Structure formats: structure tokens, C-alpha cells
Structure 1
Amino acid sequence: MKRENIQENQGVTPLQNEYTRAAEIEDARKKRHKVGLYRRLAVFGLVVLLTSIWLGSTIYAQSQTIADKEQIQQEKLAELEEVQKQQDKLEEQIRLLNDDDYVSKLARKDYFLSDEGEIIFTLPSDAEKPQEDSEEKE
């Protein structure tokens, strides 16, 4: 079938008139337009791809930074809670030290101070008993 088309084309001479020249020019223009369109689409696609990669990497980096900062925040909140507990204990101690009865009881207990006419007897504590028992066994 191809041989027949080739043989038929060999016997036909193309027409050289204004219409055929205009049609050939129009076909060439359409071909150039199509090639230009493909090139523009390829460049646009490349720009979109590069922009997507850049945005994706930026979002990933930011999510990692946010995760790190959230972890630090959790650690700091735990530390803050501990410090607040310690502050509450210290405020309670301050409140107790402002009470005269507590201060006098504390002085009697720790420093063996006494009121007038009062006699202090010290008893061995539980912590001292095992030491005394070990001394007796030897």
C-alpha cells in the first residue's frame, strides 16, 4: 500500500499558487506555535515542581522545629510545676516561721532550749537504736 502511495506521489506535481503557499505558511506557524506551547508548558511544569519541592521541604523543616519546641515546652512545664511545688513548701515554711508557737517548738526540738523551770529529757531516736544494737552485739 505504501508503494502505491509513493508511486502516485511521484507522478503528481504540487500546485504553486497563493492558496497552497498560504496553507503551507499556516501549517508552519501552527507547528511553531505547538512547539512553543510545549516548551512553555515544560518550563511552567518545572517551575511548579521546583516550587512544590521547596514548599515541601520548608514545611517539613518547620514541623520538625515545632515538634522540638513542643518537647522543650513540655519539659519546661514539668520543671515549672516542680518549682511551684517547691515555692509552695517555702511559702508554708515562711508562714510557719512567722508563728511564735511554731518557732518556740522548733527551738525546743532542734536546739534543746527550754522555758524557765522546764527540764529536757532526750530519748534515743529510732535511727540511733540500730547503731546501739550493733555495738552491744560486738
Structure 2
Amino acid sequence: MDKTYIKQREQELEIQAKKRRGLIRRLSALAIIAFTLGCIGLVTIYSQAGALEAKREEKLVLDEQLRQLKMEEQRLHQDIKNYNDLDYIAEIARRDYYLSKPGETLFKLPESSSD
């Protein structure tokens, strides 16, 4: 009876050892998978943060370009209004092309220097 008990006890211990080894293997595999997924997640977050920063810088540059283009648009709208104004056209013609109305004499004065 002692031999059967000892054999049975050895078999139980062997089964427990196999279960323990299987558990350790499964937990090790699970830890490796979790570590791998964690590393992939960190790399993804890091690359997305870099891309986001690049997009922010690009947005700042584009915002500045937009501001400049809006200013130019306002200037061009003002030019359109001016070129539709006959008084403005007459002023430009007198100043740049020395045109005058009949009976009018133009005098070109030298630019005054503040030296």
C-alpha cells in the first residue's frame, strides 16, 4: 500500500509540475505579447505626436499666408474702387503721365528732402 500511495503521490506531483510549467509558459507568452503590443503602441503614439507637431507648424505657416493674402485682397479691392473713380484716374494721369485739362498748366516741383 505504501508503494501504491507513493506512486500515486509521485504522479500527482508530476501532474502538478506539468500544470505549473504550462501555466508559466502561458503567462510568459502572454507577457511577451503584452510587451510587444505595448512597444507598438508607444511607437505609434510617438510617431503620431511628431506628425501632429509638423501639422501644427504647417498650420501656423498657412495661417500667416492666409493673413497676407487677405491683406492683399483688401488692397486689390481698394485698387478696383480707385480705378473706377474718375478723380483718382485723373490724378494718376496728371502725376505719372503729365496730362492736363485744356487750359491747365502743370508744374513739376522737385522732391523736398529733409536733409
User: TM-score over 0.5 for the alignment?
Assistant: yes
The reply on whether 1:86 has 2:72 as its aligned counterpart is: yes
Give me the whole-angstrom Cα distance separating, in 1, the residues matched to 2:22 and 2:3.
Answer: 29
Structure 1, gaps ≥5 residues long:
1-13, 131-138
Given the alignment, which residue of 81, 93, 96 partners 1:95? Answer: 81
Counterpart for residue 93 of structure 2? 107
Give me the whole-angstrom Cα distance separating, in 2, the residues matched to 1:126 and 1:48.
Answer: 81
SS at match of 1:16: helix
Give me the whole-angstrom Cα distance separating, in 2, the residues matched to 1:94 and 1:125.
Answer: 28
Please identify runs of 4+ aligned residues in structure 1 that moved more than 6 A: none
Which one has the largest radius of gyration?
1
Q: Aligned-pair distance for 1:71? A: 0.2
Q: Aligned-pair distance for 1:23? A: 2.2
Post-superposition Cα deviations, 1:74-113, rounded to whole Å, max 9, x if no partner, equal: 1011011111101111110111100111111111111111
Give me the whole-angstrom Cα distance separating, in 1, the residues matched to 2:107 and 2:10.
Answer: 126
How many percent identity over aligned positions? 27
SS at match of 1:83: helix
Output the amino acid matched with 1:39: R
Q: Aligned-pair distance for 1:24? A: 1.9
TM-score (norm 1): 0.77
Equivalences for residues 34-73 of structure 1 within 5 A: 34-73=20-59
Counterpart for residue 2 of structure 2? 15
Counterpart for residue 7 of structure 1? none
Q: Name the Cα RMSD after superposition.
A: 1.7
Counterpart for residue 24 of structure 1? 10
Structure number with greater CO (CA < 8 Å, separation at least 6) is: 2
Post-superposition Cα deviations, 1:23-79, rounded to whole Å, max 9, x if no partner, equal: 221111011100110111111101100110011001101110110111011101101
Q: Aligned-pair distance for 1:21? A: 2.5
TM-score (norm 2): 0.92
